[in-house]
Amino acid sequence: MTDHDIAIVGGGIFGVSIAKHLAEGTEHDVCLIEKEYQLATHQSGRNSGVLHPGLALDLEPGTRKAEFAIEGSRRLRDYCIERDLPIRDTGLLLVATNEAEVGQLQSVHDRVRDLGIDIEWLDGEELSEYEPNVRGQAALHTLDAATVDTKPITYELAKDARRGDVEFYLGTEVQQVDRSQDGIHILTDKGTLSVDYLVNAAGTAAVHLAHELGVAEEYSSVPFRGQYYELTTNRRDLIRTNVYPVSMPPRVPNQVGVHFTRRPDNKVIVGPTGMIALGLDTYGVTQFDLEEVRRTVSSSNFWRFIGSPDTMRIAWRELNKTYRKEVFLDHCKKLVPEIDESDISRSYVGISHYVLDQQGQVGDESRFAYGERSSHILRPKPGLTSSLSIGEYIAHEVDNRF
Ligand SMILES: Cc1cc2nc3c(=O)[nH]c(=O)nc-3n(C[C@H](O)[C@H](O)[C@H](O)COP(=O)(O)OP(=O)(O)OC[C@H]3O[C@@H](n4cnc5c(N)ncnc54)[C@H](O)[C@@H]3O)c2cc1C
């Protein structure tokens, strides 16, 4: 390993997007360090793949999150088309199934109509023209949403970064980072290197890495495990596009409820459930990481988060959804009454994380933090949708602070 100006830790879509933007917009000598032998192994390889221009996330016009979402989804869609990457451009429906939800849908409509995205209000009959098997009293429809496959996008971004001479160290785990007067020293399982600046894009591990440099110590993170199901091959025609329930309060920001997603490979995934995970990569049902559990429960932020009545209600709902298939199925049936147990089978698991402040709040906006000689993407929002716009934004920040 050799020394560089800048090291990016994390080969998910955010780390690689930042690498591309630094390579294309600056003269710095950049490297990227990823512990796995492949890119996009964790969150970036295990998500719903929906480009959200705003609807299901209930974005507030004028916020930074809304800007990242709208600009990000347009840019990522154009990128996929230009590079011939898998994309399914079938739009998204946000569905209300009863009177109370119609009221909620109306308030989403009032909020998002100023976002500048194309939306139309559908009554139940119009909804069934788009989705004959979905039952709802009303829906909001946008053609500005799409589904993508994050892994090939990440590899394409990596090619752009490689063209700009970014060095990739794959299969290399960062074990310790220290700051001194002359730079940041990175100890990995393959050797050490020194850099002038560190960019932390370590996903669910980002808060832990920031703490090693004494940054963002007021925050802690808690990992969440999402289990997906998928429609069996012979029942995929139950859903044509992407169907989301309108979420009723209480809700955690960015939590979107059980939804149906038709991916570019034509699989229809359903879910996810959302339970506190017992580790950052504990995808198996019985896996746990004692050190991570200890970290989670030793944080007072976590107890403030878990102690709020809203969180308790959400946790109880999610616990039932996770461990009782019939409860999960009830959530599905609310939108697609015809679905039954034999129509869905267990699919993959994804683990994301919430970053909690000292009040135990998740917060609605991205959380970035900056230290001397370091930038930290603690939690980018709204996810992969915003990876090109946030990647460019962070690359500018790093260049200015370098
Ligand atoms: C279940 C689920 C569904 C989602 N659905 C959507 C969606 O539909 N639309 C959307 O916009 N977003 C969605 N997201 C969010 C989106 O997937 C993430 O925001 C995005 O993938 C995060 O990318 P990242 O690069 O920050 O993290 P990651 O992809 O997790 O990458 C971080 C990388 O850092 C590496 N790393 C960590 N520690 C070290 C270390 N010490 N040394 C070296 N490398 C290290 C890890 O191996 C990993 O590869 C979803 C997420 C999940 C989990």
| 254 has a pLDDT exceeding 80 | no
Predicted confidence (pLDDT) per residue in 187-245, tens digit: 999 999 999 999 999 999 999 999 999 999 999 999 999 999 999 999 999 999 999 99
Contact 210, 371 (CB under 8 A): yes
201 close to ligand 1 (CB < 6 Angstrom): yes
User: Which single residue is written with the structure tokens 């025609």?
Assistant: 237
Q: Tell how far the Cα of 282 is from the centroid of ligand 1, in angstroms.
A: 14
φ, ψ (nearest 5 deg) of residue 270 = -130, 130
Predicted confidence (pLDDT) per residue in 26-55, tens digit: 999 999 999 999 999 999 999 999 998 777
Amino acid at 248: M
Average pLDDT over residues 157-181: 97
pLDDT at 112: 83
252 close to ligand 1 (CB < 6 Angstrom): no
| 148 has a pLDDT exceeding 90 | yes
pLDDT at 174: 98
| 270 has a pLDDT exceeding 70 | yes
Q: If you write DSSP's letter for every residue of 254-268 in order, what string do you get?
A: T---SEEEE-TTS-E
Average pLDDT over residues 247-275: 81
Average pLDDT over residues 335-360: 95
pLDDT at 252: 60
CA distance 8 to 395: 11
374 close to ligand 1 (CB < 6 Angstrom): no
Q: Tell how far the Cα of 206 is from the centroid of ligand 1, in angstroms.
A: 10
pLDDT at 255: 64
Contact 277, 226 (CB under 8 A): no
389 close to ligand 1 (CB < 6 Angstrom): no
Contact 351, 226 (CB under 8 A): yes
Q: Which of helix, strand or coil describes residue 182?
A: coil
% residues pLDDT > 70 (the chain): 97
Q: Tell how far the Cα of 353 is from the centroid of ligand 1, in angstroms.
A: 9
Q: Can you tell me which atom of ligand 1 is nearest the CA of 386?
A: 11
pLDDT at 314: 77
Please provide the CATH number assigned to the domain covering 222-356: 3.30.9
Delimit the domains of the chain by residue range.
1-49+149-219+363-402, 222-356
The more confidently predicted of residues 254 and 248 is: 248
Please enumerate in sequence order all residues whose Cβ is within 8 A of that of 22, keeping only pairs 6 or more positions apart, or say none. 6, 8, 28, 30, 161, 164, 166, 395, 398, 399
End-to-end CA distance of the chain: 22
Q: Can you tell me which atom of ligand 1 is nearest the CA of 150?
A: 21
Q: Kindly state the helix (H) or strand (E) to which residue 123 belongs, with its residue range.
A: strand 120-123
The more confidently predicted of residues 173 and 251 is: 173
Listed residue (1, 399, 400, 397) closest to 194, CA to CA: 1
| 183 has a pLDDT exceeding 80 | yes
Q: Tell how far the Cα of 349 is from the centroid of ligand 1, in angstroms.
A: 13
CATH fold label, 1-49+149-219+363-402: FAD/NAD(P)-binding domain (3.50.50)
